[in-house]
Structure 1
Amino acid sequence: MTDMSAIPLVFRDAVAALTSPSPRGEIELDELRPPKRLAPWTYALGAETCGPGGTEATARLVLLHDPSGQPEWEGVLRLVVYLRADLPRDLAHDGATSELGWSWLTGALRSCHAPYTALGGTVTLSSSTGFGRLATPQPEHELELRASWTPPDEELSAHARAFHELVSSAAGLPPVGVRMPGHRPPS
C-alpha cells in the first residue's frame, strides 16, 4: 500500500482533476497500468467507444510527473495520448486525413479551453489485408495518433474533457445532444 503522504500533492491534485469529469455515455473509461520508466510518478486512463457504422476508437491518456521537471517538457507535468481509430476506405487514401487526425486533438484542446505548451506528435495511417487464417474480406484501414503536451498546472479537468472529445471525434460520434439517423444513444 502506498503512503499517500509520499505522493506529491501536485500529482495527487492532477490525478483527481483528470478523473473528475465523466465521459459521455458511449465512452467506456478505465484506469490502466501506467508506464513506469517515463517519469517518477505516472497515471493512465484508457477509453473505448464505437461510433455510427461500427467505427471503433481506443485511446490511452498518460499523466507523467517529474518533480524536477524535464527540459523538453517545459514543466513538471506531461500528458501523453495514444489513439487508434478505424478509418473508412475513402479517408484512408485521402492526403488530408493526417491533418484531420491532428485536428481532432488540437480542436478538442481548443474547444475545451485546455491550455498547453510544447505540443508535438505524429499521425500514422495504415492499411492491412489478412491472408490465410487471418483473411479479411476487405483491407482494414486505421489512424494512429501519438502526441504529448505540457499543461500549465495540475488543473487537468479541461484536458480530460478534451481527451473524451478526441475519442468521440475519432469514432465519428455526433456532438452531445445531436441524434444521427439510425444511431441509438446508450441507455
Structure 2
Amino acid sequence: MPDAISPPPLFRRAVSSLGSVAPRPELVVRALEAPPRLAPFSWATSVEADIGHRGDGTDDLDEPDTSGRLILLHDPEGQERWQGTFRLVCFVQARLEPGQLGDDMLPRIGWSWLTDAFEQTGAEFTALGGTVTQTSSVRFGGLRDTGDAPPREDDVELRASWTPTESDADFARHAAAFGALVATAAGLPPVGAVPLSRTPG
C-alpha cells in the first residue's frame, strides 16, 4: 500500500483542482476528514446551502435546507469496479416542500439534478450509479417547539458515485458539477439570473 503520508503527484493534482473552484456565495464550503479505509488516499469536502442565505460563503448555517458531501478516493493500482484509479462519491440531502411529498417522479427528478449538472459543466465520467430516496422524520422532546403535533421533516437524499475520466486528473468540472447539484437541490436560481420584481406603480 502506498505511503499515505506522501500522496502521489496525480492525487495532489486532483485535490488541487477540486479545491480550485470558487463556490457561489450562497454555498458554504468546508473541508472534511475523509472516511478511512475506503482507499489508500482520500479527500472530502462539505457544502451547505439555504435558499434564504446570501452571505459571503463562510458563515455557518445551523440547519441548512440542503447539505452535501463530496469524497475523492484514489487507488494507484486501480479497482475493477471503479474502472479506473479515482472514484468520486457524493451525498446530498435537501428539504422537501409539502407539495412534493409522495411525488412518484421525484426520484427521477432528483437524479436529473446530477446528470444535468454533468452536462452543464462538461464533466467526463464512467460507471455512474446511485440512489434517490425520500425520507421522513418527526422530532420528539428536546428543544423542539411545543404544539399539537411534533414537527415533521421530509427530505430527499441522493447518493451517487462515478469515475472521472480526465487523464490529467483535473477534476475542476466535477467540483463545479457538485456545486451545481447542491444549488439545484436547494432551489437556487441559475447563476446570473435576475429575480422578477414588481415595478412600483
State the TM-score, normalized to the length of structure 2.
Answer: 0.83
* Structure 1 residue 130: Cα displacement: 2.8
Structure 2: tracts of 5 or more residues without a match: 54-62
The answer to whether the Cα contact below 8 Å between 1:47 and 1:60 also exists between their aligned partners in 2 is: yes
CA distance in 1, matches of 2:71, 2:130: 14
- What is the Cα deviation at residue 138 of structure 1? 4.6
1:95 to 96, 104, 108: 104
Does residue 149 of structure 1 match 2:162?
A: yes
Work out the CA distance in 2 between the residues paired with 1:161 and 1:36. 25
1:1-187 aligned at under 5 Å gives the runs: 6-52=6-52, 56-133=65-142, 134=144, 138-153=151-166, 154-180=169-195
Instruction: Decide which structure has greater helix share.
Output: 1
The RMSD of aligned alpha carbons is 2.2
Aligned amino acid, residue 173 of structure 1: L
Q: Displacement of 1:177 after TM fit?
A: 1.4
Q: Which amino acid in structure 1 is aligned with residue 136 of structure 2?
A: S
CA distance in 1, matches of 2:194, 2:184: 15
1:27 CA displacement? 0.3
Query: What's the CA shift for 1:91?
Result: 1.0
Cα distance, 1:129 vs structure 2: 2.5
Query: 1:92 Cα shift?
Result: 2.1
Give the Cα–Cα distance (whole angstroms) in 2 for the partners of residues 32 and 4 of structure 1: 17
Question: Percent of pairs identical after alignment?
Answer: 44
Structure 1 residue 131: Cα displacement: 3.6
Structure possessing the higher relative contact order (Cα contacts under 8 Å, 6 or more residues apart)? 1
Partners of 2:196 and 2:115 in 1: CA distance: 28
Distance 1:46 1:63 in 2: 12
Which residue number in structure 1 is paired with residue 56 of structure 2? none
Q: Secondary structure at the match of 2:21?
A: coil
Verify the 8 A CA contact 1:15 1:43 in the aligned structure 2.
Answer: yes
Alpha-carbon shift at residue 137 of structure 1 (Å): 5.1
Q: CA deviation at 1:38?
A: 0.5
Q: Which runs of 4+ in 1 moved over 3 A?
A: 52-55, 131-138, 179-182
- Structure 1 unaligned residues grouped into runs of 5+: 183-187
Provide the rounded CA distance (Å) in 2 between the counterparts of 1:37 and 1:5: 14
* Cα gap change, 1:4 to 1:125, in 2 (>3 Å): closer
Q: Which residue of 2 aligns with 1:185?
A: none
- d(CA) in 1 for partners of 2:138, 2:6: 50
TM-score normalised by structure 1 residue count:
0.89
Checking the alignment, whether the CA contact within 8 Å between 2:48 and 2:64 is kept in structure 1 is no
